Structure 1
Amino acid sequence: MAISKLHKFRLALFWRLFTNYFIVILVPVIVASFLAHVLAVRTIEKDAEKLNDVVISHFSKQTDTALDSLKTNMINMLSSSNLTGVLRVIDDSRENQQRAEQFHALREQLMKLQSDKLVSKVFLYFANRDLVADVDIYTDKSYYFKMSYPLGDQQKRDYLSRFTGKKMMDITDSSSLGMYAVMSYPFNTENPEVYLVVHFDQDKLKEQISIPEKWVTGTAIATSQGEILNQNGLTEREVKAVLAHTRANAMSSQFLVTDEIAMSLVKSRFNDSWYYVTIADLRTLMKPAYITRVISWAFLVFFLVVGSFVSYYLSRRWYRPVQEITEENKELSQRMSGMVPLMQELFVTKILQGEYKDELSIAYYAKEIDFSYDKHAMRTVLCIAFHYNSEVYEKLSETTKSFMFVEIKELIRKSTPSMVWFCQTKPDMMACVVTHDAFLHLGADEAADVAKLVLESYSQYFKATIGIGKTVNAAEELHESYDQALSVLQNRGLDADVEICRGPLVGERTQWESFLSVQEVNRIFNQCKTREYDKLLESVCEKLEEGRHKNATAMQVKYLCTDVLNTWIRAVETEHNDFNVPFFSSLYVRLHSVMTWDELKQCFVEIHRVLFRTEEPDQRTKQFSEILAYIHDHYNEELSIEYFAGLLNMSSGHFSRTFKEAVGEKYVEYIAKYRLMKAKQFLLETDMKIDEIAEKVGYWGRNSFIRTFRKYEGITPAKYRSMDH
């Protein structure tokens, strides 16, 4: 009897709990599921269709704008390129200088037009003259379409047949040549003088018309004549569907749905016969609606099952004391309290990185983690960048490193009277948010000085740089102060163990040139060819001393050092291929890891030792080294092969063969190339006349010098000088 009563009691308790659960929770869940099924799903379907319309509209406007911009650039180029002046001087053989200037200006205009992101090639086709000009060359039509832009005979006839009559950006699609546009000049004549031809970059055009939305499976530009000018991602079935609808008749924008595929067609503003087409997968587009429908029913079933189990469980476990639950909650609370400092640092990090930019979200999350702060206090962010001393720092254990940074934070916090927040934004970066104290006149500069004093006691482990951001009046503006502090850090130097960067901004600290000039690059190559390796290291050390004297920033010095290393590597590759890409990559990593002048100088000493290592020469190599040294010192004199052959007790023929085996070049060619190397140096670095340079480098006549220079360099000395200037 007692068991029966106990069973009834538990059953009654179960139904009582379940009834309460049904009234309080299940009824609202049922109503919500019904509304989601009836209203939300329909709303999502309408929104999906609207979203598709918005995306295709934006896509069409963006593409039209790009094409309109290209058309405007073509018109501006033809209007402002002084084609009239070019046409006037083409046939005038007496005005070579003026013609060269006119074509130079014309090529600059073509180069500017070719820089458009949708353009792959641009040239001018002169209808009534045997002339074609592009950004690299102007020449006759036969040569151009054979060498510069080779076309087959039939392909060329079809292509050139387009250049008749008036053209105002007539766009043609060719299966072999792709899309290209033609515009005639003068604009309003049926017999134009010039045609401007612009070939589209098919890949860039595909990128232009591509839409990154997952539910968009393909895009295309189609014409009312049933042509696909460009498409991205369309299947064969989708291409046929597009052609069928565009061939039907002239139509305005519309949205069609067939076999789980949604097709949107929007008429182009750029060309009335064009349509922009997008193909959307209805399953993907309407996926939120399907998911909402399934979730609403699953939600209802879930709550029904959960309610039953919860009611049953509570009815059986009702006898448990409330005190046990309280003790468990207390233990959980203690665990959470130990995580509060970590959560608060993470919260500050998100504020500095701009994830929370409004006052309401910051106040909400601060309340959630019990983070108290003054909403309108003046604050400044200090960014502390660390450059670790690998010889000392890497020997420490991870625990020791963690405790060391905890100790640094506590020392800075105790030494600063105002409130300070800390967070680790990067592995080598610590941010310090300082709250200004108007009563104590404590601001960012004073806090930075305090941090500097603390960090100096740890200088054996790292070099530290403190960047001071701007002062802001609200917590939601702290990301601006953090960004400026990072920008200021780029101006750090290479001297002090602990440095404070208060400004100026990047690029305003010094006007020191941080890249090698053309003359300096050529000098390095010449010194490598003549094996004057010691001078390479001396010039780098001089540059570093100059940078230290001018107080150059670490970024400027790194740019220069990277340029020097690039030039050294190029020079080494021309001599031998003993090194591979991973080795060169390790040199760049080594260079960018140093952060002091001494480290930088030692780094180049080590790189120089590896790249330009020398071996002890044997007797024959030593003899030829002395001969080469003599040639380098007396290159402007007559150097007879018989003279050197006699010194080594050889015949002229045997000496010539031995010289090539030892040096790698024939005796005559080596002397000629060395003289030309010196001549190029005089051409670039002096204003000496050609005759003077010819005599200076050992040639008896101007013509002999020019002939030899053209043989090895392919151009005349005067042309070489003008090109490099």
Structure 2
Amino acid sequence: MFISKSHISASYITDVRHDFLTLYIINGIRYGIINAYCIERKVTIMRTFTRQWIQWKKTNRLLLLYFISYIIVILMPVIGIGFFSYRLAFYTAVDEISHSHINSLRHTVATFDDTLRRINSLTVGIGMDGRLNSYSADNDNRYLLNEFQDMLKQAVAQDQKIQSIQLFFESGQVMISSDRLIHPYQGNMADRWVEAIRRTDQDHLWLPPRLMSNNDEQEKSIITYISKVPISYHNKIGYLAIHLYEDQLQELLTQMQNIAHMNTYIVASDGQFITSYKQVNVGNDVTQANMKQVASTIGEGFFTDKAHHPHLLVAYSTPIWNGWRLVSQTPLTNIYERLSYIGWLTLGFCVLLSIIGIAISYWLSRKMYDPIKQLMERARTYMDELSLENPLHHTNELSLVSDVLKTAVGEKKLLDQHFRKQTPAMLDRFAMALLHDRLTDSRDIKEQIELYRLGLSLRGYVVIVVEMDYAAELAQRFSSKDLNLYRFAIANIISELIQIQTHYRFIITDVSEYQQAVIINVFDMMEAEELRELAGHMQSVIGELLKLSVSIGIGSVYLDITQSHKSYQEALQVLKSKLLHGAKSVLLYEIQNKEKDGIYYPLLQTEKQITNNLKAGNTKEVLSILEKLKTEITQKQLQSESVYMAYNRVLEASIEALLEHNGHPRQLFGPDIILYRELAKRETIDHIHQWISGIVAQITTYIQEQDNKNNKTVEKVVAYIHTHYQTDLSIEMIAIGVGLNSSYLSRIFKQHKSQTILEYLTLKRMEESKNLLMDTNMNLNDISMAVGYNNVNSYIRFFKKIEGITPGEYRKKRVP
């Protein structure tokens, strides 16, 4: 049925509107309640999150603090050690190199000093000739004139370093030369030295290098030594000039150079360069600056020039008698390069340790942080359970940890156990503190005596030191474990004897691997004889039970325990007398201190006697001298330091004699034997005497064998020269021919023949050439080839140098 809108009643519409309104109000109330709950829930969550965030931030800040602290503690020492280790290595290397350079300069200075003194001796010999005044008074005396010229030529021929010698007389203005004709002084370039000596008040003058022409018109750099003559008279009548080849001095400097990458200079007192030997390129301005700094110094030394690049190590010697000084330059570039790998190694090692340190720091931080975090979480749990104040606002969160009280009893038990275990070690530390004067307060000492329940009083103490004899032999025979057992056994024997024979309290401790100290509380002043008897009984029991020899040193008795360190020092000091008294000695300080100890033994004459007899191979005489030395040392009762010093000097003299004969201790006694260390191991004078006598006997035998071998070697060299003098020989070829080192061969040949190999070869060639000149019609070129000269000019020069005339003049003079 169809119903229209007009049929719906007004009441129905009113009811529907009321229902919708009611439903809307109910839904609004429900949504309001839900919204309020959500807001409250969000606030609670935010508060919880904020509290947890603050706690997390606080604890993690503590973790970060631990982490940074550990990094600083671990990494800073690593970086510091790495840096200073590299710097120490660098400065140590520089110091070692500088000392080696100074030693090299010393040897070079000695050689140049000897050379210059020979030149000065030649000057004195000529300058003191009485004929100088005679010729000055009579310039027309041709006989004296020829004698002077012959004398100068002979002097030049005897020394290859001399280019020429000139003698000038003021009276006649005459110049006599070894290499030129006699001529009047005209002031030319070669004779300008006369003006130089005239301008000075000094009797002697060295001129710096300058160019001069020799006989073959070649310019040579010449150094001139001028002296006013006659030397022995106040009135000077002329001047003597000796011209030296600079290249000869440079060659001598080169021969003495044994260090690579080093420039060596000889400079005069005014800073002028005499000669040099350069191996590296250093700028002249840098060298001049270095020489200026050296000129302001006195004596020998070294310094590092860091103002220029590359950095230089400059070493300088003490001045020679004529004012010259040797200076060396060495670039530090090589040292930097050699130490670069150490720098990289140190850097790598520091980086590795830094990484390890960071890891350890983090691990330690976690180890420290995690327990604290756990304790704080437990504290928060206790706080929530007990409804106490929020720990986040407490000034000290760790004070809230209740576990401290619960674990206190357990910690005390652990400490007691640890104390009982550590008591022997603490007693040792207490005894060592007394012996080394680290405990001076009687109250502290009394507290420790009560703590360890020792029953000691504070008055009346003496210290006995028991030392095992023949320590070096014991170290070889027994292991460390065995020696520990022996020390333990000795301590037990000493303890039992003191307890049985006396009523005294004591402390015993190890003071070294072979020494034990006994601190005895004697209460009253104990007699020396009683102490000696107790020590003797200790010796006999230890020797009988352990088969060991011990020596015992006894200090004085002191009234107070704080003075026990004095008694200990006296016991140690008196034990040194075992050197003279022998092993198994009982030594009382009160008795030994009354004996007069010698402190010095004059050994210079004994050293000379030992050295001379060693070189002569006289073993019996050397052993007799050593026996006499032992007797005198024993009679004089020298201190142990003086005894070892005396025998060290004997050993040093023996080694020097061995080295002079091309020997070496390692070659004779083995590479692992260090003689000075072996000497120090000997504890008694009898052992020292027995040992040093064996060493000296071996060295003497070696020297005898070496001398016999050298004589045969020299004979082989002479035979080789006689066979091969016709060829172009050199020292190296001769050394190869006889199978020896050239420098060593030259040295032993000079020792046995008093002349060099080249001098002997030259004289042999000259003798043979004179025979050919006299017995044959061979021309000079053929003769020079026949006696081993490839250049006839060289042959003529050597012939004239030795004979004073040319070969042609010799042939004319000898052949009618």
Taking structure 1 as the reference length, what is the TM-score of the superposition? 0.42
Taking structure 2 as the reference length, what is the TM-score of the superposition? 0.38
Which has the larger helix fraction?
2
Rg larger in structure: 2
